[in-house]
Amino acid sequence: MQKLLQNPLAVTGLCLIGIILLLALLAPWIAPYDPDAVQVKQILIGPSAEHWMGTDGLGRDVWSRMLFGGRVSLLVGLVAVGISTAIGVILGALAGYYRGWVDTVIMRLVDIMLSIPSFFLILAVIAFLSPSITNVMIVIGLTSWMSVTRLVRAEFLSLTQREFVAASTALGAQDWRVIFKHCLPNSLTPVLVSVVLGIASAVLLESGLSFLGLGVQPPQASWGNILTDGKEYIQFAWWLSLYPGLAILITVLGYNLLGEGLRDVFDPRSNTTR
């Protein structure tokens, strides 16, 4: 922890993420207006003391919608990465521990998934489902597990050659005990870095899907559909595109900086390759 706090990239990322998370968590208490309340007389008002980030084409307060939209975008990122990490860890552990035909089948499946552009795969799946926050989280999670699988497999291939694993096996420990008690806890360091970077990718994917109308559906706010609302008024209502774009930028930058910081802390050799 001390090394992490001494890393400027990690500290900067933590600060940015902490601010965004705090604002999202406190949204019900600090949002000045109902994010879905339509005010016909307040349409497309620029930033002011009354409306800090202006209003949209329906007179809704953009600041309030940004706060609640942050809750949705971050939730999608966290849940989607949780799903992909769970799948990746299980498949990677099985491939690295058992090897042989198990490894061959799993890694060929990884190769097939990686050969398909992820965004277009997600678009194809969403096209057959009704766009919703639940479907977006599940689809992103089910199409983003390949990198975690590779990382865990590589760690297990190394760990299964260690003396403590050989000793456990020789003492008659069951496979599940060796996997979950001895190998898995020692293989999670690179997974943590992948998880942090994966959240940034999931937030971007959710924003892109919502921008295209295939993600979170109005009137529920997310940064992506706030951007969609802004594209119709971009020439004279710049605030509708600027603020959600900045929120996505800051969030993704924060997670990427934290991920790079964690990589430097856990793998000092990475510094010598830059």
- Among the residues of the chain, which ranges form H helices? 2-5, 8-25, 27-30, 62-98, 100-114, 118-128, 133-142, 146-159, 163-170, 175-177, 188-211, 223-231, 239-266, 269-272
- Domain covering 2-272 in this structure, CATH number: 1.10.3720.10
Residue 1's pLDDT is what?
A: 64
Per DSSP, 33 falls in state: S
Residue 186's pLDDT is what?
A: 79
Residue 272's pLDDT is what?
A: 44
Give this prediction's pTM. 0.86
Low-confidence ranges of the chain (pLDDT < 50): 272-274
Residue 267's pLDDT is what?
A: 65
Residues 6 or more apart whose CB falls under 8 angstroms from that of 260 comprise 9, 10, 13
170 burial via Cβ count (<10 Å: 0-12, 13-18, 19+): exposed
List the beta bridge partners of residue 55: 61
Residue 268's pLDDT is what?
A: 54
SS3 assignment, position 37: coil
SS3 assignment, position 61: strand
User: Could you please report the per-residue DSSP string of 162-187?
Assistant: SHHHHHHHHTT--HHHIIIIIIGGGG
Residue 269's pLDDT is what?
A: 53
Residue 21's pLDDT is what?
A: 92
CA distance 162 to 17: 37
Residue 84's pLDDT is what?
A: 93
Per DSSP, 217 falls in state: P
